[in-house]
Chains A and B, each alone.
Chain A
Amino acid sequence: MSLLLSRYAECIFWLARYIERAENLARILDVQETFARDIKGGHDWAAVLRLNADEARFFERYEVADAPSVLNFYILDRENPTSIVSDIFFARENARTLRPLISTEMWVQLNVFYNRARALRQVDITEERLNRVCSMIKEGCDTHAGITLGTFYRDEAWCFYQIGAAIECADQTTRLLDSRYLSFEERDPSETVSPVEASHWTSLLRSASGYQAFRRRHPRGMDPEHVALFLLSDPCFPRSVACELQIVEVQLGRLRRQYQLRRVGAALEQLDGIRDDLNVDNVLAILRGGGIHRFNDWLQRSLNDLSGILGRAFFGYEALPQPEAEDHAADKSQSQTAGSLQQHQG
Chain B
Amino acid sequence: MPHAATGAFKGYDPGSFFCEMCGSAEIGAPHAAAIFARFDRAGLDNLRQRAAEAEIELFNQGITFTVYTDGKAIDRILPFDVVPRVISATNWRVIEAGVIQRVATINAFLSDCYGPQHAIRDGIIPGELVFGNANFRPEMAEVRPALGTYVHINGTDLVRDVDGRFYVLEDNARTPSGVSYVVENRHLMMRSFSDLMRGLPIRPVSDYGRHLLEALCEVAPAEVLDPQVVLLSPGIFNSAYFEHVFLAREMGIPLVEGRDLFVDDKDRVFMSTVGGPRRVDVIYRRLNDDFLDPEVFEPSSLLGVPGLMRAYRKGTVTLANAVGTGVADDKAVYAYMPRLVKYYLGEEPILNNVETHICREREALAFTLDHLAELVTKPVGESGGYGITIGPRATQAELAEARARITEDPANYISQPVINLSVSPTLVEGVVEPRHVDLRPFAITGKSTWVLPGGLTRVALRRGSLVVNSSQGGGSKDTWVLAEDDSQPTPQAGRTGEEILAAGGDQIVGAPDLPAQGA
Chains A and B form a bound pair:
yes
B273 engages A2 (CB within 8 Å)? yes
B275 engages A99 (CB within 8 Å)? no
Pick the contact of A107: B62, B228, B257 (CB < 8 A).
Answer: B62
Pick the contact of A7: B61, B62, B242, B257 (CB < 8 A).
Answer: B257
Interface pick from B247-255, B386-394, B406-414? B247-255
Shortest beta-carbon distance from A100 to chain B in Å: 4
B271 engages A5 (CB within 8 Å)? yes
Pick the contact of B274: A93, A99, A108, A314 (CB < 8 A).
Answer: A314
- Also in contact, A5 and B60, with CB within 8 A (given A96-B241, A99-B249): no
**Per-residue 0/1 for A100-117: is the Cβ within 8 Å of any B Cβ (1 yes, 0 no)?**
100010011001100100
- Also in contact, A261 and B62, with CB within 8 A (given A99-B245, A100-B254, A346-B237): no
Q: With CB as the reference atom, state the residue of chain B lying closest to A262.
A: B275
Per the 8 Å Cβ criterion, residues 151-172 of A in contact with B are: 156, 160
Per the 8 Å Cβ criterion, residues 231-264 of B in contact with A are: 235-237, 241-242, 245, 248-249, 254-257, 259-260
In the bound complex, CA of A112 to CA of B57 (Å): 10
B60 engages A4 (CB within 8 Å)? no
Pick the contact of B275: A100, A104, A261, A316 (CB < 8 A).
Answer: A261
B395 on the interface (CB 8 Å rule)?
no
In the bound complex, CA of A41 to CA of B32 (Å): 74
B272 on the interface (CB 8 Å rule)?
yes
Q: With CB as the reference atom, state the residue of chain A lying closest to B252.
A: A100
B495 on the interface (CB 8 Å rule)?
no
Pick the contact of B62: A3, A111, A255 (CB < 8 A).
Answer: A111
- Residues from chain B with Cβ under 8 Å of A100 in the complex: 245, 248-249, 254-255
A2 engages B274 (CB within 8 Å)? yes
In the bound complex, CA of A6 to CA of B262 (Å): 13
In the bound complex, CA of A261 to CA of B242 (Å): 31
B371 on the interface (CB 8 Å rule)?
no
In the bound complex, CA of A93 to CA of B245 (Å): 14
Q: With CB as the reference atom, state the residue of chain B lying closest to A111.
A: B62
B362 on the interface (CB 8 Å rule)?
no
Shortest beta-carbon distance from B332 to chain A in Å: 35
- Residues from chain B with Cβ under 8 Å of A255 in the complex: 274
Shortest beta-carbon distance from B327 to chain A in Å: 32
Shortest beta-carbon distance from B282 to chain A in Å: 14
Per the 8 Å Cβ criterion, residues 248-303 of B in contact with A are: 248-249, 254-257, 259-260, 271-275, 278
Q: With CB as the reference atom, state the residue of chain A lying closest to B277.
A: A6
Shortest beta-carbon distance from A254 to chain B in Å: 13
A59 on the interface (CB 8 Å rule)?
no
Q: With CB as the reference atom, state the residue of chain A lying closest to B253.
A: A100
B275 engages A7 (CB within 8 Å)? no
A2 engages B275 (CB within 8 Å)? yes
B274 engages A261 (CB within 8 Å)? yes
In the bound complex, CA of A255 to CA of B274 (Å): 10
Of B59, B257, B274, chain A has the most CB atoms within 10 Å of the CB of: B274
How many residues in B have their beta carbons less than 8 Å from beta carbons of A? 25
In the bound complex, CA of A316 to CA of B256 (Å): 15
A1 engages B275 (CB within 8 Å)? yes
In the bound complex, CA of A6 to CA of B271 (Å): 9
A316 engages B255 (CB within 8 Å)? no
**Per-residue 0/1 for A76-107: is the Cβ within 8 Å of any B Cβ (1 yes, 0 no)?**
00000000000000000100110110001001
Q: With CB as the reference atom, state the residue of chain B lying closest to A95.
A: B62
A108 engages B272 (CB within 8 Å)? no
B249 engages A316 (CB within 8 Å)? no
In the bound complex, CA of A115 to CA of B75 (Å): 13
- Also in contact, A5 and B256, with CB within 8 A (given A100-B245, A261-B275): yes
B274 engages A107 (CB within 8 Å)? no
Shortest beta-carbon distance from A313 to chain B in Å: 8
- Residues from chain A with Cβ under 8 Å of B61 in the complex: 104, 107-108, 111
- Also in contact, A6 and B62, with CB within 8 A (given A100-B245, A346-B237): no
B236 engages A259 (CB within 8 Å)? no
- Residues from chain A with Cβ under 8 Å of B59 in the complex: 115
In the bound complex, CA of A156 to CA of B275 (Å): 10
In the bound complex, CA of A255 to CA of B237 (Å): 31
Shortest beta-carbon distance from A244 to chain B in Å: 21
In the bound complex, CA of A345 to CA of B245 (Å): 19
Q: With CB as the reference atom, state the residue of chain A lying closest to B241.
A: A96
A7 engages B60 (CB within 8 Å)? no
In the bound complex, CA of A255 to CA of B60 (Å): 34
Shortest beta-carbon distance from B200 to chain A in Å: 26
Shortest beta-carbon distance from B68 to chain A in Å: 13
- Residues from chain A with Cβ under 8 Å of B249 in the complex: 99-100
Shortest beta-carbon distance from B73 to chain A in Å: 9
A137 on the interface (CB 8 Å rule)?
no
Shortest beta-carbon distance from B507 to chain A in Å: 39
In the bound complex, CA of A106 to CA of B242 (Å): 15
- Residues from chain B with Cβ under 8 Å of A96 in the complex: 62, 236, 241
- Residues from chain B with Cβ under 8 Å of A212 in the complex: none
Per the 8 Å Cβ criterion, residues 186-203 of A in contact with B are: none
Per the 8 Å Cβ criterion, residues 61-80 of B in contact with A are: 61-62
- Residues from chain A with Cβ under 8 Å of B274 in the complex: 2, 4-6, 9, 156, 160, 255, 259, 261, 314-315
Sampled A-B contacts (17; CB under 8 Å): A1-B275, A2-B273, A2-B275, A5-B260, A7-B260, A93-B236, A96-B236, A96-B241, A99-B245, A99-B249, A100-B245, A107-B61, A108-B60, A112-B60, A260-B275, A315-B274, A346-B237
12 extra interface residue pairs, beta carbon distance < 8 Å, beyond A2-B275, A3-B228, A7-B257: A1-B278, A5-B254, A5-B256, A5-B260, A5-B272, A6-B273, A97-B235, A99-B245, A108-B61, A259-B274, A314-B274, A346-B237
The 10 A-B residue pairs whose C-beta atoms are closest, nearest first, are A2-B275, A99-B245, A100-B248, A111-B62, A100-B255, A314-B274, A6-B272, A9-B274, A346-B237, A4-B274
